[in-house]
Amino acid sequence: MALKDYAAQVLSNRPVAQDIYEMTLRVPELPQIAGAQFVNILLPTREHVLRRPFCICDCDRDAETVTVCYAVVGAGTRILSEIPSGQTLRAMLPLGNGYAPAAGSRIALVGGGMGSAVLPAVARCNPQCAFDAWIGFSDASKVVLEERLRSLCDSVTVTTDNGSAGRRGFVTDALDEALSNARYDAVFACGPEIMYRSLAKVAARHGVPAYVSLEQRMGCGIGACLVCNCKVKRNGEQGYARVCKDGPVFALEEIVL
């Protein structure tokens, strides 16, 4: 897949939950996308030189659009949330590797908080597979992408820490219960490290391979600056990998948590 810096037009940029926005960009001659790949967006200000990486939440090659879902957590994302429809942004994509399930696979998708933003594109880009999704949030005000995932997956289970939406408890507990009653070929997940620690135990208990999309601070997004290194264990030895270039998808058993 050829990496390219595009002039992308903002088609919409709207709030979808508390401090969470969804932006859709039209990208001329949109290339093939793999679920979990990301886009590096340049903010239209002189103060922000480094681009901001966002996972590609969803895509439509016919309409030539990509959608990103992001939380407003600092000055950069606050500026992004204020960009109106019609404005053009520089967007470099597709970056990183992605999930590549075998045809006919049944996959359990797991999202923790904003990690859930990775999941729709995984299902969208792999219609040859069957998906069920589990997405977990702190409370009802943070729940996003439920309806989008319901349009792409056979089932969607929502959990919240306080029970204000969906099932009360942690998303990995709900997954653990499901894996006791159904067979899946793999688990694809994105979320915080604490979720991965729990997921590793659940996946091992049920003998299901798990693959995760990592989130790290990035400088260049193409593997040159080494800012996003993560520790991995391969062939019995520990080393480092670049999340942007070697990932963001890794086998969970490789990651040193």
DSSP 194-237: HHHHHHHHHHHHHT--EEEE-----SSSSSSS-TTEEEEEETTE
pLDDT digit string, tens, across residues 224-251: 887 889 999 988 889 999 998 899 999 9
Grade residue 47 by pLDDT with cuts at 50, 70 and 90. confident
Q: Could you give the 3-state DSSP secondary structure of residue 193?
A: helix
Is the pLDDT at 49 greater than 90, yes or no? no
Is the pLDDT at 61 greater than 60, yes or no? yes
Q: What does the alpha-carbon distance between residue 175 and residue 188 come to, in Å, rounded to a whole number?
A: 12
Mean pLDDT taken over the chain: 95
pLDDT digit string, tens, across residues 149-169: 999 999 999 999 999 999 999
What is the average per-residue pLDDT within 63-75?
97
pLDDT of residue 194: 96
pLDDT of residue 124: 98
What is the average per-residue pLDDT within 44-65?
93
- Compare 66 and 218 and report the one with higher pLDDT: 66
Grade residue 217 by pLDDT with cuts at 50, 70 and 90. confident
| H or E segment to which residue 172 belongs | helix 171-179
Grade residue 15 by pLDDT with cuts at 50, 70 and 90. very high
Residue 185, CA distances (Å) to 71, 112, 255 in order: 31, 20, 20
pLDDT digit string, tens, across residues 102-148: 999 999 999 999 999 999 999 999 999 999 999 999 999 999 999 99
Query: What is the CB neighbour count within 10 angstroms for residue 222?
Result: 15
pTM, two decimals, is 0.95
- Compare 225 and 212 and report the one with higher pLDDT: 212
pLDDT of residue 221: 79
Is the pLDDT at 1 greater than 70, yes or no? no
* Most confidently predicted of 48-52, 119-123, 219-223, 230-234: 119-123
Place of tokens 């103060």: 47
Query: Is 166 in contact with 158 (CB distance < 8 Å)?
Result: yes
* 87 residue type, one letter: Q
